[in-house]
Homo-oligomer: A and B are copies of this chain.
């Protein structure tokens, strides 16, 4: 595997350690002391244990939550692979900033902060745009059906931007991160990355995105196949895969997951686009997967392929396919519930309740 260049990415990859099992028995002992039959809270107990192991404590906290929404445009969006025109990307960024999008509503409901990052939207936002973090690599990728989306240097830039955005959110207090995306056309690069890294055929991991009809879906599968033919990506070279097939927001999502793992912060993965970033992160350092929580199972057919590859079980299955981090932020409530159970429930001894 070609090595990433010396610098932030290399240091971050080196800083990621396995989640480890030291706190597994301690978390189990705590859970089993609480006034409920052992195991009766199911996934809540597994999530609670995971957070204990990540944070290395039996009194974990995820009260401070942030969702990182990375936006970018895609050359391939002009090839008829989306039901929506590319100008929707900057329009939705402005919608995020004014608080009217689904992610804003769901983040308010979860008590999570929203950080909106321009990674490469094909629009020049003023530098002082309130609430927008501008880490633009450039205005949209090149068209992957004809050649690489970006240079290898740009791929590193995108990933490192994600690392820095995650680290800044954590420095601001975030104890639980989630990732989200905006980018018209971005299920196409996500499908291409997924096919490349999991070895599945393009038609097995390519779906209808925001609502393609049968002809649109067929054209999209063809676009993924042409992207493979034009780039011949090497699955053992994750940065090369990102450069060939990627998107700037997908690279940043990958970086955010690496940055979170390096700082031992759990990160809730949203749907198919975040899943592509998660595949890249786990390809760069397999230990990163231990810090991931799959927020939900998207209806995109390639998403289950991603989850299987990563060994993640989704918290929610609500037939969602919106992106933006919407499924991840909804799942934050469940993750926080798992943590509150550990911290706030009475033990059998405290409550004077008889055992089995």
A346 interface hit (Cβ, 8 Å):
yes
A232 interface hit (Cβ, 8 Å):
no
**Given the known A-B contacts A106-B337, A109-B337, are A101 and B352 also in contact in the complex, defined by CB atoms under 8 Å?**
no
User: Contact at B92–A35, with CB atoms within 8 Å?
Assistant: yes
- Alpha-carbon gap, A192 to B40, bound state (A): 22
**Given the known A-B contacts A95-B346, A109-B333, A318-B44, are A37 and B210 also in contact in the complex, defined by CB atoms under 8 Å?**
yes
Kindly identify which residue among B38, B333, B337, B353 contacts A211, using a CB–CB cutoff of 8 Å. Answer: B38
- Alpha-carbon gap, A102 to B345, bound state (A): 6
Nearest residue in B to A92 (C-beta to C-beta)?
B353
A322 interface hit (Cβ, 8 Å):
yes
CB-CB under 8 A from A340, the residues of chain B are 105-106, 108-109
How many chain copies does the complex carry? 2
Min CB gap A79→B, angstroms:
16
- Alpha-carbon gap, A86 to B37, bound state (A): 14
Nearest residue in B to A298 (C-beta to C-beta)?
B42
Kindly identify which residue among B40, B87, B333, B352 contacts A94, using a CB–CB cutoff of 8 Å. Answer: B352
User: Contact at B318–A42, with CB atoms within 8 Å?
Assistant: yes
A128 interface hit (Cβ, 8 Å):
no
A100 interface hit (Cβ, 8 Å):
yes
> CB within 8 Å of B: which of A216-264?
none
**Given the known A-B contacts A101-B35, A102-B345, are A95 and B353 also in contact in the complex, defined by CB atoms under 8 Å?**
yes
- Alpha-carbon gap, A341 to B326, bound state (A): 11
- Alpha-carbon gap, A88 to B299, bound state (A): 43
**Interface 0/1 of A307-331, CB less than 8 Å to B:** 0000000011111111000100010
Kindly identify which residue among B40, B98, B109 contacts A321, using a CB–CB cutoff of 8 Å. Answer: B40
Nearest residue in B to A342 (C-beta to C-beta)?
B105
- Alpha-carbon gap, A123 to B317, bound state (A): 41
**Given the known A-B contacts A37-B211, A299-B42, A340-B105, are A91 and B354 also in contact in the complex, defined by CB atoms under 8 Å?**
yes
User: Contact at B351–A98, with CB atoms within 8 Å?
Assistant: yes
A131 interface hit (Cβ, 8 Å):
no
Min CB gap A314→B, angstroms:
9
A39 interface hit (Cβ, 8 Å):
yes
User: Contact at B315–A91, with CB atoms within 8 Å?
Assistant: no
Kindly identify which residue among B95, B315, B341 contacts A102, using a CB–CB cutoff of 8 Å. Answer: B341
- Alpha-carbon gap, A318 to B35, bound state (A): 19
User: Contact at A95–B351, with CB atoms within 8 Å?
Assistant: yes
A356 interface hit (Cβ, 8 Å):
yes
CB-CB under 8 A from A100, the residues of chain B are 35, 344-346, 350-351
**Given the known A-B contacts A94-B351, A100-B346, A353-B95, are A105 and B318 also in contact in the complex, defined by CB atoms under 8 Å?**
no
User: Contact at A84–B37, with CB atoms within 8 Å?
Assistant: yes
- Alpha-carbon gap, A330 to B335, bound state (A): 11
> CB within 8 Å of B: which of A1-40?
34-40
Kindly identify which residue among B88, B318, B350 contacts A43, using a CB–CB cutoff of 8 Å. Answer: B318
A305 interface hit (Cβ, 8 Å):
no
- Alpha-carbon gap, A351 to B93, bound state (A): 10
A118 interface hit (Cβ, 8 Å):
no
Nearest residue in B to A343 (C-beta to C-beta)?
B105
A201 interface hit (Cβ, 8 Å):
no
User: Contact at A41–B102, with CB atoms within 8 Å?
Assistant: yes
Min CB gap A51→B, angstroms:
15
Nearest residue in B to A316 (C-beta to C-beta)?
B316
Nearest residue in B to A85 (C-beta to C-beta)?
B354
